Amino acid sequence: MTKKTTAKTGEKKNTKTSQQKKPTQKGSKKPDKEVKAEKEEAKKEVPKKEVKKTDKEIIAELNDKYLRLAAEFDNYRRRTLKEKMELSKSAGEDILVNILPVMDDFERGLVTIDQAKDINAVKEGIQLIHNKFKEFLKQRGVKEIEAKEKEFDTDLHEAITKIPAPNKKLKGKVVDVVEKGYYLNEKVIRFSKVVIGE
């Protein structure tokens, strides 16, 4: 061997030994400071366990919630009952206030009937009161059910009796109305009592 080859082999040996001396990253040990820092981070990440409540504490808490809820419901019930009572007392107030003028007209009519000498004036007065009252009912949504000479309808009429029809056209139809029926906003509040032709 020449000097050059021995020098090269010596260099190779040196590089191998220097590589062996350097610790590899995979198997290397970390310094103590790094290990401590990692442990502290791990402690921070782990959530703290909640302290478990005893059965007595849980029962007491639930009981307290139940009592509060029951008290709130009782207060609500009392308040709504009071509101309903007040509403039922004054529910018809609006209607009664508006019907009072009709009552006044009747009273004035009764006073004038005793002193009246002209029967036509009395008739006119009664007719005016009737029209006023009819208009009041109309404003409140009360409407008369048309029944005379109409087909008998069980949804609107209540048959009292049957009589022979005066003519063939009135067979199965309403011949006479004994008591008028009424709608309240398209709902039947009183059926017409009628006589049917057969």
pLDDT at 78: 95
pTM: 0.50
**What are the average pLDDT values for consecutive 10-residue runs of the chain, which has 198 residues?**
48 48 48 70 56 84 94 95 84 81 87 82 87 89 88 88 85 88 89 89
Considering only CA atoms, which of 186, 93, 86 is closest in space to residue 142? 186
* pLDDT value of residue 106: 87
Asked: is 143-198 a CATH 3.30.420.480 domain? The reply is no
What pLDDT does residue 23 have?
A: 46
Which residues does residue 144 pair with via DSSP β-bridges, in sequence order? 182
pLDDT at residue 25, as a whole number: 46
Could you tell me the two tokens for 130?
């009737």
pLDDT the model gives residue 43: 60
pLDDT (0 to 100) of residue 31: 63
The pLDDT of residue 50: 54
Contacts of 80 (CB under 8 A, 6+ apart): none
The answer to whether residues 124 and 113 touch, using CB atoms and an 8 Å cutoff, is: no
The 3-state secondary structure of 25-78 reads CCCCCCCHHHHHHHHHHHHHHCCCCCCCCCHHHHHHHHHHHHHHHHHHHHHHHH
pLDDT at 45: 56
